[in-house]
Structure 1
């Protein structure tokens, strides 16, 4: 189990609480691991209060005082999925990581920093002429599109200006088949009860009489079930009881408790498991959200990034965006995410057991080997945009 496991759960749940507090009926999708990876790439070049705040908000401060040790943990996660399938073997799933460092041609990097990104993050690193802003936008967006199998076609909308020194981008692409696929013959149009009180008829997929990891906690007013993919990755679904609601569940759920709840699941025969077939897209302006969580210094002119470039000009993160998409259907799931940072210079049961997700719920896509949450989110409302 990776030490990043608890960090991904802590940060992801805190992030979800922050978004939910602003709008409890919003659909949310994010990748905790993508945010952690992108910001650990700048953490390698940070010092002082900037370094402390990044570690604290990402819940990395309890791992180790040395940033290089955190880089090694990320390297281990990425490296474990870079081993190609042996001849004649079936690829269990696709989990690809991409990291990009693109710098203005006038920026002179510290060699140790570039080497760390290449060694620990397997990053592509090169210089470009930022005076041709349109070309930079096309290059970055093309790189993101290629690394997410065209699921995310753009991460940048605005061309860099003369103060932009570099871009750091992370992508994660996941494609997995359910260990037990849903039969299309059982997919039916059924009612989903949206958090805003409306109802919608949408396609719902059903499994009958399957043994799955499951727990029903009446005291917590929630149910949890694990849907495994082929391989060692699973989707975890958390459904509030009918007397509860998703916002109340999220507000009162703590990361250690969540970990304990997932550990308490046991193999159980479910008579009926029904979940919606859906597509969800989301984006987050991290440069606005993370400061509200306590990470302010990296986005200010007095940010401390002394180990990235040569010279004495101040550096700070002027823009940081994550875009994510997920498609959940009968055969499996496709999910992808891209996180970009723009740095500026200037500065068996006797009873019938069912799990019917016909109301708002939380979900995670979890790497069972490392315990890291790759993706997480909440489905609060289904509209035509979510239809598959």
Structure 2
């Protein structure tokens, strides 16, 4: 079963996500596995010139710098949705068709933690509402984002605790609407994501597996958006405003 599920995920994500469920993650008590996968490959409306990409410093933290391939766009065609606040710069770049875009949130003071603390639906809506199309000199590192998480603890902290409790215990899970019996509870939730950003555009994929177990404004000077320190990014649908992918880049060299 594990190999069948992993093979399906690989196929749906163009082989970008492999081995979603590792050996031993599913066992003889596993009765139901819910899995979803998404794959996206998009070219920028305004692509970066590969000849302009240079090796430059990226400040991982106050004590560490690494060399990364830094993409550059500073010509007259470099018009993007952009705004800056007291704490951060925000840049939105569209993919061909303009149905999807990538937004980059870049803290001004290199303090990514403070920016993470500011993240909320309300703040994102406010920042995006202030974006204006204008000339911006853009410096953005090429990066590959590949991560795998176990979401069980996070979801329980967010209030989904009963789903992980055996049905025989107080406050236990009730998935009888799925199985017809009150004998299922969630054993683990694994999420894996892959994002590759380069001069041409972005390739991205994500998969989530759930295992159920039986009991047991126009400036006078062109602003510069230089992403040479940790930042947050997300890919969003313009029609639904749903965020499809989101992550933070701390060290593009890894």
Extract unaligned runs of 5+ from structure 1: 1-135
Aligned to 1:147: 12
Alignment RMSD, CA only? Answer: 1.4
Please tell me whether residue 324 in structure 1 is matched to residue 189 in structure 2. Answer: no
Aligned to 1:238: 105
Q: Distance in 1 between matches of 2:143 and 2:110?
A: 23
- CA drift at 1:381: 2.0
Extract unaligned runs of 5+ from structure 2: 167-171
Whether the aligned pair in 1 keeps the contact of 2:59 and 2:66 (CA below 8 Å) is yes
Q: Deviations over 1:137-160 (max 9, x none)?
A: 110110000000000011111353
Aligned to 1:371: 241
Aligned to 1:304: 174
Aligned to 1:259: 125
Q: Secondary structure at the match of 1:174?
A: strand
Aligned residues: 244
Q: Secondary structure at the match of 1:260?
A: helix
- CA drift at 1:259: 1.1
Which of 44, 47, 57 in structure 2 is aligned with 1:178? 44
Aligned to 1:106: none
- CA drift at 1:161: 2.3
Aligned to 2:169: none
Please tell me whether residue 158 in structure 1 is matched to residue 23 in structure 2. Answer: yes
1:90-105 map, 5 Å: none
1:269-288 map, 5 Å: 269-270=135-136, 272-288=137-153
- CA drift at 1:244: 4.9
Which of 335, 349, 353 in structure 1 is aligned with 2:204? 335
TM-score of the two chains, using structure 2 as the length reference: 0.92
Aligned to 1:293: 158
Aligned to 1:356: 226
Q: Deviations over 1:17-71 (max 9, x none)?
A: xxxxxxxxxxxxxxxxxxxxxxxxxxxxxxxxxxxxxxxxxxxxxxxxxxxxxxx
Q: Secondary structure at the match of 1:296?
A: helix
Whether the aligned pair in 2 keeps the contact of 1:196 and 1:381 (CA below 8 Å) is no
Which structure 1 residue ranges, 4+ long, deviate > 6 Å from structure 2? none
- CA drift at 1:292: 2.2
Q: Which has the larger helix fraction?
A: 1
Q: Which has the larger strand fraction?
A: 2
Q: Deviations over 1:284-333 (max 9, x none)?
A: 101122112222111111101121012x3421000110011110001010
- CA drift at 1:196: 5.9
Structure 1's 258 and 252: CA in aligned 2 closer, same or farther, altered over 3 A?
A: same
TM-score of the two chains, using structure 1 as the length reference: 0.61
